[in-house]
Amino acid sequence: MKINFKKSVGLFVICVLTFICAFTGFEPSYKVYAADGDDFIPSPSPVIVEQFTGGWCGACPYASAGIHYSQMVLNGEEDVFVHLAYHYRDSLATADTEKRAGQYDITAYPTVIIGGLTKMIGVPSKDGYLDFDQYVEVIREYSMNKSTVADIELVADFDSHSFNVKVKAKEDFGKRKINIVAAIYQDWVNCQLKNGASFNRNTVRKMPYGVSGKPIKLKADQIYEETRKFVLTTRASEQCGIVVFLQDQDTQEIVGSALYKFATKKTALFYWNVPQMGNQEKNTCLGTMTFKVINATDLKKVYIKLHKVDEYFSLKAVALSKALKDKATIDFNARKWEVTVEFNEPFNGSADIFNLLVNFKKESGDYGIVFKLIQFMASDSSKNSVPFELIDLSFFSGVHISPNPYDLDENGTIDENDVIVVEKAFGTEKGDKEFKKQCDFNKDRRIDLEDLNELMHKEGWRILKEYQD
């Protein structure tokens, strides 16, 4: 008698599964049922922007900066798009993030893919300059024309490390090969990479369904529901989120999405001087960089460490802002370029946190220099990370240093020698032989007390004294 081995094994497996279901109460991890119309609340459905990056890739941080710029332009009251960064062959890479590149046959870095369809290789530029508006326009256009086959409801709980997803079909999936894909990301991962990047945006940490996802088949008005566990250990859960999307395996088009953020507090924005990207203007000699925050909640401690660029600037002193002088303590490590601020009581709201006195030593040229953080921490009263955004002056942004008009003798500092230059021209008017145009600071065609007082207020020792007081 011949025995069909494959059939026998198949029957054995079916029997075992039947036994487990009957006597252990086991139920499948998902279920499919008809929608009743009342128990489904669609989650936000952003455009999925996938970035393929690596710490060895010199151009990749510029692509990251471009996506950050696009977020500031497009993501206001709602998230028009969500960014997912898949790292390759660096300390933030995982087996899944490296394999995800194979889904799109990625051969060049950086590559950014919008909606699974539009592939942008390299960093966008125009006439030799970076042009991040190209990202903005492509994402905006895709958001207005995207098609979806289903709505998705997504809720999650970080404490229990689980999420529940419901997919409600708008139409029959038919013969289309639709997979459900999930990515858990952590924003602002502070990790120094070889290419100079210190803060890594929306870094994909886990893919619960794997690289390609899990096939699902639905008819119109059917709901696929599943509760799934995940494993992720971090004290920065407020910086994490989960994205679930549907992807056509033949065309790669993303045809449905949902976003859930684990943050329980408002996102605080930290920045230098002004809340915008791009170069900031400074002059040689002493200048102030003010570190500020908007929308802080339960903020207890802030720590920064700056990247040293000794050739162009040095740090001289630090002081709490007037508003926080009696509400916090500050520590300045001049050797390591570190500043730590600890609030007496948890701080809520917006404020200038501290002023940093910087000696800008030399001109930077047309492109400016980086004034970037290599470490940053903002924690709450429970010593957990607060949700934050950071405008860091690196890569796309920086500081443009120009000659200081008050440094009349061009010796790199404003001191009594500059006062002597003004005194020699004091009392002269335009047309006089001794008149010096560079000493006429208020442009009134005469050198008088107003010009002398203006210069004296710029003297280095006077500025430093304000910090010492």
The model's confidence at residue 225, banded by pLDDT at 50, 70 and 90, is very high
**pLDDT per position as a tens digit, 160-204:** 999 999 999 999 999 999 999 999 999 999 999 999 999 999 999
Q: Kindly tell me if the per-residue pLDDT of 121 is higher than 50.
A: yes
Question: Does the pLDDT value for residue 37 go beyond 80?
Answer: no
pLDDT, position 128: 87
Instruction: Name the CA radius of gyration of the chain, rounded.
Output: 29
Across all residues in the chain, what is the average pLDDT?
A: 91
CA dist., res. 282 & res. 400, Å (int): 6
Instruction: Answer whether residue 6 shows pLDDT above 80.
Output: no
Q: Above 50 in pLDDT, residue 21?
A: no
Q: Residue 76: pLDDT band by 50, 70, 90 thresholds?
A: confident
pLDDT tier for residue 4 given thresholds of 50, 70 and 90:
low
Candidate CATH numbers 2.30.33.40, 3.30.365.10, 3.30.9.10, 1.10.1330.10; the one for domain 416-468: 1.10.1330.10
Calpha distance 93→22 (Å, rounded)? 42
Mean pLDDT within 18-29: 45
The long-range contacts involving 101-107, CB below 8 angstroms and separated by at least 24 positions, are 101/52, 102/211, 103/211, 103/212, 103/252, 104/50, 104/52, 104/252, 106/52
Calpha distance 191→199 (Å, rounded): 6
| Percent share of the chain, pLDDT over 70 | 93
22 pLDDT more than 50: no
| Residue scoring higher pLDDT (217 or 465) | 217
225-243 average pLDDT score: 94
Query: 47-261 with 268-402: one CATH topology?
Result: yes
Average pLDDT over residues 210-223: 96
Does pLDDT of 27 surpass 80? no
pLDDT at 227 over 70: yes
Percentage of the residues of the chain whose pLDDT score is greater than 90: 82
CATH architecture of 47-261: Sandwich (2.60)
Global pTM value: 0.86
Sorted by where each begins, the domain ranges of the chain are: 47-261, 268-402, 416-468
Evaluate if residue 262 carries a pLDDT over 70.
yes
> Mean pLDDT throughout 249-277?
95
The reported pLDDT for the residue numbered 17 is 44
CATH architecture assigned to 268-402: Sandwich (2.60)
